[in-house]
Chain A
């Protein structure tokens, strides 16, 4: 059986991290979310993958190639515009021969989620959709059930209108008739896969397949820290062979170091931290619950807590990312009391002795002069002088 993996999306709520890379390429435990997904697909015994790509697809193609690293064959289907999950699945149609699995390329799941829907579909011939229970169902597609069958999926209902805590886990098994169903539901600019499922559910059974395993979603930047910490807490991947740690530095458990990462004298890398490829962690620097993307330099005597540092960014000596909790306004909603030290965007230069208040979101290509105190949201390309 083939799997269609949807990886065309941008992930706007995760800006600036998604300005230069698509959401599926955000790293958790030093591996892109998509890597974890493809691994699960491969572990479920599926060897043929159609990867639907679009936004910043070069990043995905560079990383995934033809799939040899997972022992799978990857074919690419390009979604020229982001027009929803249904449209994404349609792009895969020319490459799909028979019944197939659909999974999201940016949500980490266990292989079981895939094998469950596959088996149910194989047994019954009907569409099968994995459902799972979450605490915040109104952020997702809430399912209404009737005797083990899905009758309706309601996308992001108001919290008081959520029918249950059961949501569409985004793992499906279909036969090729789904393509016609998607085309028939093309009523507005965006083609959602749930719309097609709702239409099908009126005529034939759509099996709800309960799934209680790992289901890790990244909606907001701080979620990436949580998912990263969770993965590192379970089973951190081995450090790259070319990573170096000075004898006097301390690297705690539940961390990971990428290729040629360098942890310099007296530096401390505490749990929950993922240090990317070719990153320098300067002398006496402390990283705690931090994600440092590739090619970044964190100079000496710096403290970085609960923070994501973008690729190729330089953080000057003595700078402090305070970490801890903050109320973060994002896209018109205030997210209260989230543990989020901040994001420093890609290709950004933060000077020495800068203080980064909790919840700061610094865009890409920003320059911050030494000694500044920064907070809130700062647009890409800004130059911040002290004072």
Chain B
């Protein structure tokens, strides 16, 4: 939620900060703004997307900060857009997160300061103004001032600040992501690596309580007043990954990247000969063998991947699995924390709800494994160990390639646990792994049928609403496919367990609705076929997604997918991603920036 960028160096600072905002727009697009040093401090900000921001062409700056906003406190207006400044316009601040004690701070400050906006953020520049007046005017004054200000803040924040005459930018982090990029005589700052990956891959992830001071000469990081060493890591993402590469939308690009993302997810992790998987997990084998329950916690699309994982883990690893929406997770009675494992799934690694659930679990002594796409993210520090899904950056707000990569990675995890727990023989494991190897090629095969799916989307783009039915491992796919459609096309769509239709939702089915049935392996297609008849007899059209089209009668259209056993329902999801995309495109929706949504939800 909200994206921050910053730059210090000899290049065109305004352009780099602006470019960074464009790359971070998936984090919010309610308003955007920049503040740059140019003699004094110049601030340009505006309601709306980054493209609405009008920037001067005559600025020559070597230091600037920028912000793209997803509103929490205060409506999306010009006035509430970041950066915010102090009374004298000498200090500019951008902020991601929530300052919980902003009301009381504001009350204290209002005696001597004038406030411009309704935001929680604005207390920070005013506090900095006071603090700067109290510290010596040497080069590091801003660092000392920021330290004294953050001591007074409660809540979550990533902050970047600069002044008219500072040598650079000061940044602070508490529970909201912030990463520093190291260039040659130039430094970058951002909420996410994608902002500056075109310029450098050498990065340092800030930790909670860190304060970073970025100047031409380098980066100094303080924690609790003392200089600390944080490792420089090299990010292996392609710079291309943050660009559209000729596609009209990131979402379509990312849909087409899925075979490659999946190959990366699997590469080097499968030992065909031993029928085992190496995920480089440090879990004690005895703990795994004695494990009584796995609790999956996740939100949104990751939750659907978690529901899918339940089927895989119970089938392959013979262990009881429960799946909780992260914000609903409580560690309640009936289980032994020492024999419970929490599997926390989050693409960004910064999802506040999931991080809160992990804290809840850790407080009770439960071991936590994170499954995430983002190296250096908060969840990697909060969890005992991490498995990366290696999908590469995902910019489209609607998750696509990260869903399939999550499921593929969780399938590997299920086989690993199954081997450790003796639930799978090497031969059984090898057979599952063979199917997993075939997953990238099968996804490509589905993508190759895009023209047919596009035609189907044209046919059905004007339906009243859509429902998706399935059973077993098909059910999470029904939920996920409905979520994709509603997220980006704004049409009503719901996923139901096929058997539940007759218990209520069937009343909503009319001749102007369209049903999708996931009739793949792993989804009990024979039983769902009966439910298809219930729907057909109410006059709705039904589209079947199946690997066995010849056996189907009486559906209005079929989307064929290749047969690959336990992962077959995910192939249905890939086909329905394309369907959702083309419906939204037909309706001319802003596909990469659906209204009211942002990726990487870092508020609870």
**A contact set with B: CB distance below 8 Å:** 20, 51, 53, 57-58, 60-62, 64-69, 74, 76, 242, 244, 246, 259-260, 262, 264-265, 277-278, 280, 294-297, 311-312, 314, 346-347
A312 touches B245 (CB 8 A): no
A77 CB → nearest B CB, Å: 9
Is the Cβ of A278 less than 8 Å from the Cβ of B440? Answer: yes
Q: Do A264 and B272 contact each other (CB < 8 Å), given the known contacts A53-B246, A57-B246, A62-B256?
A: yes
State in angstroms the CA–CA spacing of A60 and B253 once bound together. 11
Whether B444 contacts A64 by the Cβ 8 Å rule is no
> In the bound complex, what is the Cα–Cα distance between A297 and B268 (angstroms)?
17
21 interchain pairs, CB-CB under 8 A: A20-B444, A53-B246, A57-B246, A60-B246, A61-B246, A62-B257, A65-B238, A65-B245, A66-B244, A68-B198, A68-B239, A69-B240, A244-B268, A260-B263, A260-B267, A262-B272, A265-B273, A294-B263, A295-B444, A312-B441, A312-B442
Contact of B243 among A66, A277, A278, A314 (CB under 8 A): A66
In contact, B253 and A278 (Cβ under 8 angstroms): no
B198→A242 contact, CB < 8 A = no
Alpha-carbon gap, A280 to B272, bound state (A): 10
Check B562–A347 contact: CB distance below 8 A.
yes
B438 & A347 in contact (Cβ 8 Å cutoff) = no
B273 and A246 within 8 A (CB) = yes
Known: A61-B247, A65-B240, A264-B273. A242 touches B268 (CB 8 A): yes
- Which listed residue (A57, A64, A66, A280) contacts B437, Cβ 8 A? A280
Contacts of A346 in B (CB 8 A): 445, 448
Question: Mask for B261-301, Cβ within 8 A of A = 1, else 0?
Answer: 00110111000110000000000000000000000000000
Q: Which residues of A contact B240 (CB under 8 A)?
A: 65-69
A347 vs B571: C-alpha distance in the bound complex, in angstroms?
Answer: 14
Bound complex: CA A295 to CA B267 (Å): 12
Which listed residue, A76, A277, A311, touches B246 by the CB 8 Å rule?
Answer: A76
CB-nearest residue of chain A relative to B271? A244
Output the residue of A51, A60, A347 with the most chain B CB within 10 A.
A347
Determine whether B259 belongs to the interface, using a CB cutoff of 8 Å to chain A.
yes
| A295→B245 contact, CB < 8 A | no
Docked pose: A277 CA to B440 CA in angstroms: 10
On chain B, the residues within 8 Å of A347 by CB distance are 441, 445, 562
B117 at the interface (CB under 8 A from A): no
Task: State how many angstroms separate the Cβ of B535 from the closest Cβ of chain A.
Answer: 30
Contacts of A297 in B (CB 8 A): 434, 437-438
| Chain A proximity of B412: nearest CB distance (Å) | 13
- By beta carbon, the residue of chain B nearest A347 is B445
A364 to chain B, nearest CB (A): 9
Report chain B residues within 8 Å CB of A53. 246
The one of B243, B267, B434, B438 in contact with A312, judged by C-beta atoms closer than 8 angstroms, is B438
Q: Provided the pairs A246-B273, A278-B266 are in contact, do residues A68 and B238 lie with their beta carbons within 8 angstroms?
A: yes
Residues of B close to A68: CB separation below 8 A: 198, 238-240, 243
Closest to B240 in A: A65
The closest CB in chain B to the CB of A311 belongs to B441
B260 close to chain A: CB less than 8 A: yes
Inter-chain contacts of A244 with B (CB < 8 A)? 268
Expressed in whole angstroms, the minimum distance between the Cβ of A366 and any Cβ of chain B is 13
Chain B residues 534-562 with CB under 8 Å of chain A are 562
Find chain B residues with CB under 8 A from A294 CB. 259, 263, 440-441, 444
Known: A62-B245, A69-B240, A278-B437. Contact between A295 and B259, CB under 8 A?
A: yes
Query: Which residues on A sit within 8 Å (CB–CB) of B238?
Result: 65, 68-69
CA distance A350 to B522 in the complex (A): 25
A295 touches B246 (CB 8 A): no
Task: Give the shortest distance, in Å, between A279 (CB) and chain B (any CB).
Answer: 9
Residue contact B441 to A295, C-beta cutoff 8 Å: yes
The answer to whether A61 touches B253 (Cβ under 8 A) is yes
The CB with the most chain B CB atoms within 10 A, among A68, A297, A346, A347, is that of A68
- Please report B residues at the A interface, Cβ cutoff 8 Å: 198, 238-241, 243-247, 253, 256-257, 259-260, 263-264, 266-268, 272-273, 434, 437-438, 440-442, 444-445, 447-448, 450, 562
B204 to A: closest C-beta gap in Å:
23
* Residue of B with least CB distance to A262: B272
Q: How far is the CA of A295 from the CA of B268 in the complex (A)?
A: 14
Determine if B260 and A62 form an interchain contact, defined as CB atoms under 8 angstroms apart.
Answer: yes
The 6 closest A-B pairs by CB, nearest first: A295-B441, A312-B441, A65-B240, A76-B246, A65-B245, A260-B267
Q: Apart from A51-B246, A62-B257, A314-B438, what 7 extra A-B contacts exist at CB < 8 Å?
A: A68-B198, A69-B240, A259-B264, A278-B266, A294-B263, A295-B437, A312-B438
Contacts of B438 in A (CB 8 A): 295, 297, 312, 314
B562 CB contacts on chain A under 8 angstroms: 312, 347
Chain B proximity of A262: nearest CB distance (Å): 6
Residues of A within 8 A of B434 (CB): 297
Q: Which residues of B contact A280 (CB under 8 A)?
A: 272, 437
Residues of A within 8 A of B448 (CB): 20, 346
What CA separation (Å) do A367 and B313 show in the bound complex? 32
CB distance from B98 to the nearest CB of A (A): 36
How distant is the Cα of A277 from the Cα of B198 in the complex, in angstroms? 26
Which residue from chain B places its CB closest to the CB of A21 in the assembled complex? B448
CA distance A264 to B243 in the complex (A): 38
Q: Give the residues in chain A near B444, CB-CB below 8 Å.
A: 20, 294-295, 311-312
Q: Report the separation of the CA atoms of residues A64 and B238 in the bound assembly, to the nearest whole angstrom.
A: 11
Least distance between A169 CB and chain B CB atoms (Å): 27
Asked if A277 contacts B263 (CB within 8 A), the reply is: yes
Asked if residues A312 and B445 are in contact (CB atoms below 8 Å), the reply is yes
Question: Shortest CB–CB separation between residue A22 and chain B, in angstroms?
Answer: 12
Query: What are the residues of chain A within 8 A of B244 when measuring CB–CB?
Result: 66
Supposing A61-B253, A68-B239, A76-B246 touch, asked if A259 and B273 sit within 8 A by C-beta, the answer is no
Given contacts A68-B198, A242-B268, A312-B438, whether A278 and B263 have CB atoms under 8 Å apart is: yes
Distance in Å: Cβ of B279 to nearest Cβ of chain A: 15
Chain B nearest CB: distance from A82 CB in Å? 16
Which A residue sits closest to B448, measured CB to CB? A20
* Given A260-B266, A278-B263, A64-B245 contact (CB < 8 Å): yes
Smallest Cβ-Cβ distance to A66: which chain B residue: B243
Say how far A296's CB is from chain B's closest CB, in angstroms. 7
* Nearest CB of B to A205, in Å: 36
Minimum CB–CB distance from B241 to chain A (whole Å) comes to: 8
A174–B239 CA distance with the chains assembled, in angstroms: 32
Residue from B256, B272, B434, B442 with most neighbouring chain A CB atoms (10 Å): B272
Q: Which of A60, A265, A295 has the most CB of B within 10 A?
A: A295
Residues of chain B contacted by A67 (CB below 8 angstroms): 240
Chain A hits for B257, CB < 8 A: 62
B445 → chain A, closest Cβ, in Å?
A: 5
Q: Are A259 and B245 in contact (CB under 8 A)?
A: no
For residue A27, give the distance in angstroms from its CB to the closest CB of chain B: 14
Q: How far is the CB of A9 from chain B (nearest CB, A)?
A: 17
Contacts of A277 in B (CB 8 A): 263
| Residues in A whose Cβ lies below 8 Å from that of B264 | 259
Q: How far is the CB of A336 from chain B (nearest CB, A)?
A: 34
Separation in Å of the A241 CB from the closest CB of chain B?
8
Q: Tell me the nearest residue of chain A to B243, going by C-beta.
A: A66
What is the distance, in angstroms, from B15's C-beta to the closest C-beta of chain A?
15
Instruction: Kindly state the separation between the CA atoms of A259 and B270 in the bound complex, as whole angstroms.
Output: 13
> Which residues does chain B contribute within 8 Å of A60, judged by CB atoms?
246
When chains A and B are docked, how far (Å) is the Cα of A244 from the Cα of B269?
A: 11
A264–B437 CA distance with the chains assembled, in angstroms: 15
Residues of the A chain whose Cβ atoms lie less than 8 Å from the Cβ of B246: 51, 53, 57, 60-61, 64, 74, 76
A182 to B245, CA, bound (A): 28
Chain B residues positioned under 8 Å from A295 (CB to CB): 259, 263, 437-438, 440-441, 444
Least CB separation from A53: chain B residue: B246
- A311 and B268 CA atoms in complex are apart in Å by 20
Check A259/B267 contact, CB under 8 A, given A62-B245, A280-B437: yes
By beta carbon, the residue of chain A nearest B268 is: A242
Residue of B238, B245, B259, B440 with most partner-chain A CB within 10 A: B245
Flag if A296 contacts B272 (CB, 8 Å): no
Task: Considering the complex, give the chain B residue whose CB is closest to the CB of A64.
Answer: B245
